[in-house]
Amino acid sequence: MKRLLIIRFSAIGDVAMTIPVIYACAVDNPQLQLTVLSREFLKPLFSRMPSNVEFKGVDLKKNHQGIAGLNRLYNELKEEKFDAVADFHDVLRSKYLRWRFKLSGTPVAHIRKGRDGKHKLVRAKHKVKEPQKSSFQRYSEVLEQLGIQSSSHFVSLFPEGKGDISQLRGITGEKGDSKWVGIAPFAAHKGKIYPFERLKKEIGLLCREPNIQIFLFGAGLEEQALLEQWENEFPHVTSLAGKLKMDTELIVMSHLNVMLSMDSANMHLASLVNTPVVSIWGATHPYAGFMGWNQKEEDAIQIDLACRPCSVYGNKPCMRKDYACLNEITPEQVVGQLKRYLD
């Protein structure tokens, strides 16, 4: 085998979780050329990969939209003469492409998502609270189906340990002997977001610590407005929302002493640059297999409730109506865990 196509279109966190697996595959199989097919805006995640990894961006809203667009995409891909296809996504779009390749005689394999085990984990009654395979394991198993083995251990997107932050000092300032804390307060669904008023109290508690600099991470306009409000309210707090792109955010993350995140993309991004992550879990649970790379179980802050977890992705409304899974986590509890990396 000389050329392998790997498909994973979204979401940011799920694509980020492919990185350690693809890295190990590339290092241990230098004769193999890997092409990663994903959304164009995710290209920065793959810019520091081994030389035998290339990225192909897709536009699923325009050029590659619908059946006609997927046929156009397949015609582009078949010119690359791939020897095998690894579908890390297993959704309608990737299934269609996989089917086209299979019809042409190309070996294909796809992820097994373990839906039965995850359903038992989150169902309302008679939950089976057992750890499911991680996404890292599931991605590796797809490659194994194609006869591809790897054992190398991924550490960071920055082989030198930290990204070059010299270009960003106008935003971050000099680190010196200060402790840098990242806070990413947002997630895709309410069931994964720690209450903002409690998070604000955490920022206040952290600001009392000596030599602390806090960086706030977010993307949307509403998020940017809230983070700028906190920046103006507290000393030693800098909002990075709207100021950096993904590749430069990763550089800043690599210099953090610790990141505080929800079960979200930023949890995974910080993990990829070997930064410790303290994560807050509400409706979701690490047992579903989505913990970040090399994260410690004790750094996943959560409380034990009979109703938890109620959702694999955090998108279901709270059956109790009170989001106790998040509201019963105290700011002092979170700050105490963060301080383990600041003392």
pTM score of the predicted model: 0.96
Query: Is 161 part of any domain?
Result: no
Work out how many domains the chain is built from and give that number. Answer: 2
Residues 329 and 221 in one domain: yes
The whole domain housing 47 covers 3-145
Residues 66 and 187 in one domain: no
Residues 121 and 180 in one domain: no
Residues 39 and 112 in one domain: yes
Residues 125 and 75 in one domain: yes
Q: 319-340: per-residue pLDDT in tens?
A: 999 999 999 999 999 999 999 9
Which of 110, 145, 180 is the endpoint of a domain? 145
Query: Is 150 part of any domain?
Result: no
Q: Tell me which residue of 67, 77, 153, 141 sits closest to 109, measured CA to CA.
A: 141
* Residue 53's CATH number: 3.40.50.2000
Looking at the chain, the whole-number percentage of residues with pLDDT higher than 90 is: 98
8 Å CB contact between 94 and 79: no
* Segment (H or E) for 135: helix 135-145
Residues 310 and 268 in one domain: yes
The whole-number average pLDDT for the span 119-142 is 98
pLDDT value at residue 161: 84
8 Å CB contact between 284 and 271: no
Query: Is 204 part of any domain?
Result: yes
